[in-house]
Structure 1
Amino acid sequence: MTPVKPERLHIDDTVAIVSPSWGGPSVFPHIYELGLGLLQRWGLQVVEYPTARMAAAELAANPEARAADINRAFADPQVKAIIASIGGDDSHRILPYLDAKLIAAHPKILMGYSDVSTLHAYCQRLGVVTLHGPSVMAGFAQMAAMPDYAAHVKEMLFRPAAGLTYRPYPAYSEGYPDWAHPAKAGQVNEPIPHDGWHVLQGSSAVEGRLFGGCLDVLEGLRGGEFWPLGNFWDGRIVFLETSEEAPGPALVAEMLRGWGRDGIWGRAAALLVGRAARYDAAAKAELDRLLRTIMADEFGRPDMPIVSNMDFGHTDPQFVLPQGILARLDCSRPSLSLIEDWLS
C-alpha cells in the first residue's frame, strides 16, 4: 500500500491535544502546561479537546469519549496535527469507536508513543503515516533541557525531507524527577553515557517500510481485529521497545516468539530494538543474547539484521520514527536513514 502522507506543519497551524489513554493532565497539570508552552513557542495554535484535561477516573470510564475526540480532530479542517497528552494502558478500548473512513479520508499528523502504539497500528492498517515520538507530558515538557532533542522533533514536524539520517545521542536519561514536586517540572534525570547501537546480526544494507512501537502494547493487539495481517509484514523494518514497566528479557523473548509463530519474522526485513528503560547492563546483555538466539536459531533468520540499544522508546531523547515510510538500515556503519519524505 502506498503510504498516505499528512501535511507538514507551518507557523500558526492548529494542533489538537487529546488524551487517548491516561488522564495525566488532570493529575499533573503543571507538567502538561509546560509541554503546551513549547508547542506555542514554536508558533503553533494549541486546541485542547474535551478529553485533554478530563479527570483520570472519568476518562478511564469513557473510551467512547476519547475516540470521539480523535474522530473530531481528524474531521476538523483547521487541525493539522493531533498530539497525545501522554500514554497509559488501555487505549485499545477506543479502537472500536474510531471512524476508519474518516481517518483515511483526512490524514493528518498523529504523534505519541507508549500506549499510543495502538493508534499507530490502527492507522497503519489504513495506510496513513503517523509519527512515533514524544507526547506532551513525556517529551515536549522536558525539551527545554534537551535542545538537540527539540531541534530533531521540530525538524520532523516542520521540515520533512528525504535523506534524513539518525545519529545516536551521546547520552540519555531514564524517567523524570517526581512530578508531584512542581519545582522539578521540566527537568530530566542525570544523563547516562550512551554506548551506541548494538549490531547483533547483519553486515549489509536493507530497505523497508517502518512499523512498530511499544512491544508490551502491541502484544495486546496481536492476532486481534485491529492487528495488521498477511503481506503487511513483507519487507518491514520492525522497531520495538519495552515500556517503563521493564518486562524482563525472558518475557520479551516469549512475546517475540509469539510474533515468530505468526510468521512475522519470516517476512520482515529487519528488527530495530529501542534502548530498554530500567534495564541494568546484565539485563541488556541477556536481551541481546536472546534476540540473536530467537531469530537465528529458533526461526532460521541468521540473515535478518538486528540492531538493539537504539534511541527510541521510554528514554530521552528519542527519535521520531514515521510509520509506513521507506527507510534504509546499513549494518556496516551502522546507520538508519529515511529515504523518502514522510510528510507532504
Structure 2
Amino acid sequence: MLAPASWSDDGWIERSVAQLESWGFQVRLGAHARDRRGYLAGRDEDRLADLNSAIRDPEVRAIVCLRGGCGSFRVLHGIDIQALRRDPKPLVGFSDITALHRVWHSIGVPSLHGAVAGAHAKTVRDLLLGHVPHVVRAIPTQFGAELTRPGTASGPLFGGNLELLARTVGVLDFDLQGHVLLLEASKAAGLGMIDRAMTQLIMSGALDGITGIALGCLEGFDDYEDRGWTIIDVLRDRFDLLGVPVLAGLPLGHLADPITVPLSVDCGLDLERRELTCSPAATKDPPDAPGTRTSA
C-alpha cells in the first residue's frame, strides 16, 4: 500500500492493511507511506520512489493507494512508464488518484476506480482476482440522478474526478474517442471550478467523440446554490453541448460505501435498466488465489 498523495493517520493505515490481509493478500507498506509534509505524505521524490519501486518489483501484483487528497499530480512525469509497460499491474484509488489513472490509461493498463473501504470494499478483492465486475445500478434517489439522458452507449470506460481530469489537459496526451466518460465531483471545487473544468475538457477537444457519460457522486452539492444555479444546472448546461447519453446516480466516488469499477475496459450503459456493466480488468498476471500475490 502506498501514499502517493496526502497522508493518512495510523488508524486508517492499519485498518486498510488488515482489510487486504483478511482477503489473503500479502501486504507491503511503502517505505514512506507514513511520512508527512504539510498535507502531503512526505516529499515528492519519496512518494515517487515508493510508486516506482512498486511498479518495478515483480512480486508486487497490485498497487493500492491509501487515500487521495492532493499530491498525485506532482509525480506524473517521473513515473517509470517503461517498467509499467513491461510488467502491467492495476492501481487502486480514486479522487486525486485520477491523475495516476491517466498515466495507466495512456499506456493501456487497466486500473480500479475505488477504495478498500465501506460496505462494498470486497469489490476490490473480486476485481484484483479477475472476477467479472459487479453490475453497477444507478440509485434513482441519489442526488444528481435526474441528469440521466436516454440512449445507448458503449466503449472503454475512463475518467474519475472531474477537476483532476481537466488539470491533466496539456500535461498528458488525452484521447477519449469512443470512450464512456466516468465523472464524479466534490464540493471542494465549487460551481465555478466545476464549470471551468467541464468547459476546459470540452474546449480542448479532450471529450470529442465520447459515446456516453457515467455520472457518480456529486459529493457535498446537495444543498449548494450559487446565484440561482446548482451543480445540476451547470452539468446539464455542459452536457447539452456533448449531446450524449448520461447514466447518473451511480454509487461511485466520494461516498461512504463506494463501488469500485475497472477503468480502461469495455463497458456498456443500459439507460433503460439504469445499469453500468464492465468487462474484467485483465492484466498480464492477475492474482489467481489469495495468499499467492503481494499487494503494495
Q: TM-score, normalised by structure 2?
A: 0.86
Q: 1:319 aligns with which of 235, 259, 284?
A: 259
The reply to whether residue 156 of structure 1 matches residue 127 of structure 2 is yes
Aligned Cα RMSD in Å?
Answer: 2.4
The reply to whether residue 223 of structure 1 matches residue 170 of structure 2 is yes
Task: Kindly provide the amino acid, as one letter, of the partner of residue 75 in structure 2.
Answer: I
- The structure-2 alpha-carbon separation of the partners of 1:200 and 1:277, relative to structure 1 and needing over 3 Å to count, comes to closer
Q: 2:206 aligns with which of 256, 264, 275?
A: 264
Q: 1:334 aligns with which of 261, 274, 286?
A: 274
- The structure-2 alpha-carbon separation of the partners of 1:277 and 1:312, relative to structure 1 and needing over 3 Å to count, comes to same
What is the aligned partner in structure 2 of residue 128 from structure 1?
Answer: 109
Q: After TM superposition, give the deviation of residue 102 of structure 1 in Å.
A: 0.6
Task: Kindly provide the amino acid, as one letter, of the partner of residue 114 in structure 2.
Answer: G
What is the aligned partner in structure 2 of residue 249 from structure 1?
Answer: 191
1:99-155 deviation digits (Å, cap 9, x = unpaired): 1101111111210111111110011111111111115xxx2xxx4xx3xx1333332
Task: Kindly provide the amino acid, as one letter, of the partner of residue 235 in structure 2.
Answer: L
CA distance in 2, matches of 1:335, 1:104: 32
The 5-angstrom pairing of residues 1-344 of structure 1 reads 17-24=1-8, 28-57=9-38, 62-134=43-115, 139=117, 143=118, 146=119, 149-161=120-132, 164-168=134-138, 194-195=141-142, 198=145, 200=147, 202-224=149-171, 226=172, 228-229=173-174, 232-243=175-186, 245-281=187-223, 283=225, 286-296=230-240, 299=241, 301-302=242-243, 304-338=244-278, 340-344=279-283
Query: Where does structure 2 lack aligned partners over 5 or more consecutive residues?
Result: 284-296
1:259-310 deviation digits (Å, cap 9, x = unpaired): 11112343111122221111224659832232222232xx3x43x0123332
CA distance in 1, matches of 2:128, 2:250: 21
In 1, are the aligned partners of 2:184 and 2:252 still within 8 Å (CA)?
A: yes
Question: Which stretch shows the higher mean deviation, 326-335 or 194-203?
Answer: 194-203
What SS does structure 2 have at the residue aligned with 1:107? coil
1:204-253 deviation digits (Å, cap 9, x = unpaired): 321111111111222222222x2x33xx211111111113x532334312
What is the aligned partner in structure 2 of residue 176 from structure 1?
Answer: none
Q: TM-score, normalised by structure 1?
A: 0.75
In 1, are the aligned partners of 2:154 and 2:268 still within 8 Å (CA)?
A: yes
Task: Kindly provide the amino acid, as one letter, of the partner of residue 341 in structure 1.
Answer: P
Query: Where does structure 1 lack aligned partners over 5 or more consecutive residues?
Result: 1-16, 171-193
CA distance in 1, matches of 2:225, 2:179: 27
In 1, are the aligned partners of 2:138 and 2:275 still within 8 Å (CA)?
A: no
User: Relative CO higher for 1 or 2, CA cutoff 8 Å, sep ≥ 6?
Assistant: 2
- Percent of pairs identical after alignment? 26
Task: Kindly provide the amino acid, as one letter, of the partner of residue 4 in structure 2.
Answer: P
In 1, are the aligned partners of 2:72 and 2:97 still within 8 Å (CA)?
A: yes
Q: Which structure's residues are more often helix, by fraction?
A: 1
In 2, are the aligned partners of 1:132 and 1:213 still within 8 Å (CA)?
A: yes
Q: After TM superposition, give the deviation of residue 341 of structure 1 in Å.
A: 2.2
